Amino acid sequence: MAMRDLVTGAPSCGETSSSSNPLGALANALIGSSSKTQERLKEIPTSVSTSSNGNFLAGVEEPLVTLPGSEFEHPLQPNIQGSHFLQGFHSVDQNRLSDVWDEIQRPQLPFAHGSPHMANIPLEHARLQPDLNGPPQQVLSSFLHSFVNSSHGGVPFRPASLPLLGLSEGDKQCIRDRSTIMARHFFADKSEDFINGQVNALLSSLEIDNHVRGRGPVPGRYPELEEYWNESLAMKPAPHVADGWINEFSQNRVGHADPNAWVQSFEQQHGANGWATEFEHEQSQLGMIGQMRGANIPNLAAMEQTRMLAHTLAQNSDPKFQNSKFLQFVSKMSRGEISIEENQFKPATISSGDWAAEYEQQHNGGQTWADQFAHEELSREPQGWVNEFSAEREQHGSVNDEWVNEFSKLNVNDDWADEFGRQVAEGAFGETSADGWAEAYDEYMNEQAALKQQSDASRGVYVFSDLNPYVGHPNPLKEGQELFRKGLLSEAVLALEAEVLKNPENAEGWRLLGIAHAENDDDQQAIAAMMRAQEADPANLEVLLSLGVSHTNELEQQAALKYLYSWLSHHPKYGSIAPQEQPISFYHADVARLFTDAAQMAPDDADVHIVLGVLYNLSREYDKAIESFKTALKLKPKDYSLWNKLGATQANSVQSADAILAYQQALDIKPNYVRAWANMGISYANQGMYEDSIRYYVRALAMNPKADNAWQYLRISLSCASRNDMLEACDSRNLDVLQKEFPL
């Protein structure tokens, strides 16, 4: 039974629960348990005591086939049983699993075929010292004992000094890691400081450096959050408000003999550390708002990071959840997994506590000030920010108008809001989201995130998708290439995004991402990705060419010329043709002349002809462009994107019938080429064949529902074809209805 049945309480599920009638069972158990025991005993699984030397391996021939889920990591050999199993799930997820199935061509890992003695598997014999060869056991044992005992009374651990034990590095790490994790269990109701104090007392008396790095990078609770936090701190442009008080209190702290003192005294007063940590967290968030306010940072990457941080935060509305996130964040430092030396974390968090304590002293009442804070600060802050932001927007009036128009088409907001709504509906956020301030805060963060998302993209900043399932994938690049090869562009985009998040300097990842977007008919994102690729690898010819093409599509002549020129000057063969110093502005005629020279130099280089074709598109000399592309196609007949370029050029020069032939060529080579499907629709529409164009648009949209341009084209064609009855389906983006109505 699938999980969803289990959850929704499908018939089979209800049946099982009713058959067990818990109250009846309880009554049985309480009244006549002895007779029940009798019954039960009959059901004892008779021990299948076949000879035990390895007979449990019987049926080892197909162990994986019988184990659902194994195909996710260990591909199965295609066989009847397996495919039957998979067919069962096609209804659940039509594409994903069949793709997985396609992938199942890799050879199966060899394993022992029912070898009765398992001779080919290395036996591990118990090789161990009866005792640790290092430390004197008795001493260490009683020592650790006193550590554990200290948890009983909650008394601070005051160890006596120990004789030199000679623990190995590995032992020390082991003690450090394990005792910290365990201490967190024992001392759950103590403050984090107390826990750290206990563990540090243990560690320092064992002469273990608490800041020894853990065994490799141990993933913490919210690794991505911390990363952004680290980076945004690292690229902080100038000290801002949040830092002011941090510094101030770090200075104040010098006077304090015991930094834990306030925590303990506070706990005595209030019995819990709840609000203090919550407050710390709010402070940290305010700090982040501070970062946001400095959003004019020239560094695009910084904006990207802060925006994503906002996203991460905005997606959790449960204040307690956020709270414990921060706890874990702090706790990671205690595990030595964050390098404390070179950043301000340690003083920042401790001093925030000091600040809280001081504030508390002035106001004498945790509750009131917390409320006050929630009402005043938080309601004021967002508005202030919004005002500031709108003020900023007005300054950039002209630019803004452009991108506002552009993005009213793109509906970025809606996507995000839908996603958010869906999550809320699923209850992913939990119950406590009812808390007023948390919601208000979230809304504010959402707005902010959405606004930033728009402005970022308009400035050529790459906008990442929310909720990327490929984050954490061991090899997203390979996955992305694979998905791309299969034409699953939207999936490929996600995988490649995961790759470039993991390796921001991977030019190839960015380039593929850009190509995927270009093929998916999203030139803005394509350009943003390609610009990152170019940053990572300024001389990559493919990247430069793609940038030139994408800018040509966006009719940005100067930018297009610049990149096409760079392509030439970086090319090993034609670099010599380009003048030594890069011109300040580019003239189409000059660049075109250079490429004509190049084409004469190497008439067999398809790339030069492609660039020429692009250049002639820029100058709207379509006949010449078509010539160039046709020449290139003679050299590279299998280049589907080249066929598409030819088709697009022909369409632009009002040769739509020819264009359809060219697109058909492209689609024959690559059936999943969304851009060609959409272009095909345009060509039909241009010829007045609206009914046909609709079918192609719908086909393209079925492959990439995010192709916003195609939705617009579809709407126009529907109107022209007098199919106003389907406009609603188009506006609600109901592909099911459209596909049924307009099959291809």
Partner 1 sequence: MPVFKTPFNGYSVKFSPFYENQLAVATAQNFGILGNGRVHILQLTPNGPISELAAFDTADGVYDVCWSEAHDSLVIAASGDGSVKLYDLSLPPTNNPIRSFKEHTREVHSVDYNTVRKDSFLSASWDDTVKLWTVDRNASVRTFKEHAYCVYSAAWNPRHADIFASASGDCTTRIWDVREPGSTMILPAHDFEILACDWNKYDDCIIATASVDKSIKVWDVRNYRVPIAVLNGHGYAVRKVRFSPHRASAMVSCSYDMTVCMWDYMVEDALIGRYDHHTEFAVGVDMSVLVEGLLASTGWDELVYVWQHGMDPRAP
Structure-block tokens of residue 561: 């010329």
Q: Output the smallest distance, CB 59 to partner 1, in A.
A: 9
CB-hemisphere CA count at 13 Å for 277? Answer: 22
d(CA 513, CA 673): 15
Question: Could you tell me the two tokens for 418?
Answer: 């839908």
- Of 134-142, 231-239, 435-443, 484-492, the window that binds partner 1 (rule: CB under 8 A) is 134-142
What's the closest the beta carbon of residue 22 comes to partner 1, in angstroms? 4
- Interface with partner 1, residue 433, by CB under 8 A: no
Near partner 1 by CB under 8 A: residue from 47, 105, 161, 268:
47
Q: How far is CA 65 from the centre of its chain?
A: 32
**193 neighbors 184 (Cβ within 8 angstroms):** no
The window from 47-55, 156-164, 523-531, 579-587 that contacts partner 1 (CB under 8 A) reads 47-55
Residue number, 131 or 725, with CB nearest to partner 1: 131
Cα–Cα distance, 185 to 676 (Å, whole number) = 59
Q: How far apart are CA 135 and CA 168, in angstroms?
A: 9
- Return the number of the residue (6 or 399) whose C-beta is nearest partner 1: 6
Question: 3-state secondary structure string, 578-629?
Answer: CCCCCCCCCCHHHHHHHHHHHHHHCCCCHHHHHHHHHHHHHCCCHHHHHHHH
| Close Cβ partners of 10 (under 8 Å, ≥ 6 residues apart) | 1, 4
| Closest distance to partner 1 from the beta carbon of 504 (Å) | 21
Question: CB 498 → partner 1: shortest distance, Å?
Answer: 13
Instruction: Select the span of 125-133, 254-262, 343-351, 664-672 touching partner 1 (CB under 8 A).
Output: 125-133
Q: Is 320 in the site for partner 1 (CB under 8 A)?
A: yes
Binding mask 64-103 for partner 1 (x = CB under 8 A): x-xxxxx-xxx--------------x------x-------
- Residue 128 is a binding residue for partner 1 (CB under 8 A): yes
Amino acid at 550: S
State which of positions 539-598 bind partner 1 (CB under 8 A). Answer: none
- Cβ-based nearer residue to partner 1, 45 or 163: 45
How many residues interact with partner 1 (rule CB under 8 A)?
103
Q: For residue 499, state whether it binds partner 1 (rule: CB under 8 A).
A: no
Q: Shortest approach of partner 1 to residue 439 CB, angstroms?
A: 17
Q: Which of 408, 674, 659, 409 is nearest to 515 (CA)?
A: 674
- Are the beta carbons of 530 and 554 closer than 8 angstroms? no
What residues numbered 1-20 form the site for partner 1, per CB under 8 A?
Answer: 1-4, 6-9, 13, 16-17, 20
- Do the Cβ atoms of 306 and 455 come closer than 8 Å? no
Which of residues 152 and 342 has its CB atom nearest to partner 1 in the complex?
A: 152
User: 300-319: which residues touch partner 1 (CB under 8 A)?
Assistant: 318
Binding to partner 1 (CB under 8 A): which residues in 704-733? none
Q: Is 49 in the site for partner 1 (CB under 8 A)?
A: yes
Q: Where are the alpha helices (DSSP H) in 397-435?
A: 397-410, 412-426
Burial 602-627 (b: 16+ CB within 10 A, else e): eeebbbbbbbbbbbbbbeebbebbbb
Binding mask 458-497 for partner 1 (x = CB under 8 A): -----------x--x-------------------------
Identified binder of partner 1 from the candidate list 222, 567, 595, 643, rule CB under 8 A: 222
Q: Is the dihedral of CA 146, 148, 153, 159 positive or negative?
A: positive
Angle between helices 300-314 and 223-234 (to 10 degrees): 140
Shorter beta-carbon distance to partner 1: residue 20 or 585: 20
Q: Which two tokens stand for residue 473?
A: 């994938």
User: Of the candidates 77, 79, 141, 734, which one interacts with partner 1 according to CB under 8 A?
Assistant: 141
| C-alpha–C-alpha distance, residues 197 and 192, integer Å | 8
Among residues 188 and 254, whose Cβ is nearest to partner 1? 188
Nearer to partner 1, 118 or 601 (CB): 118
Q: Give, as ranges, the residues between 170 and 209 that touch partner 1 (CB under 8 A).
A: 171, 174-175, 177-179, 181-182, 184-186, 188-189
